[in-house]
Amino acid sequence: MADVKQLQSSTPYRVTLVGLLVAALGIAILYVAGAEMPVVPPGFVLLLIAAALLAKGPWRWTPIVAVLIALFEAGGTFATSADQLVDTSTFSHFAGTWVRVIGIVLALFGGIAATRAAYRKSATVTN
């Protein structure tokens, strides 16, 4: 468990955590701006759950959850909001979508690096 705590303080874990929270912030911006979405956006909830698991979970597999949620969010973002990435007529939707995309990218690449670090360190310890 001490190894997981050490990994949680690593840069890839922190980048992943920040990415998840930034993506959730992007969804919150879109919600406040009046974008069409459910009363409780599922992506927002999933991002926060993944962030909580990553921050507090004593397991080395938690970055994998972050990567899966980031992939889910990427699919949802590009399926429903791709036009908002270039349409500046509604600046709040444009900005919220870009904040969401930046968070997704950070979470995705940080999560991949954190997963590699978690499993590389465990392989080194067991040999």
The tens digit of pLDDT for each residue in 20-38 reads 999 999 999 999 999 889 9
Say what the pLDDT of residue 99 is: 96
pLDDT of residue 81: 82
CA gyration radius for the chain? 16
How confident is the model at residue 127, as a pLDDT?
45
pLDDT for the residue 9: 79
CA nearest 104: which of 21, 12, 14?
21
Tokens of 101: 């995309």
Structure tokens given for 109: 């690449």
The stretches in the chain having pLDDT less than 50 are 1-2, 125-127
Start-to-end C-alpha separation, the chain: 18
Count other C-beta atoms under 10 Å from residue 16's C-beta: 31
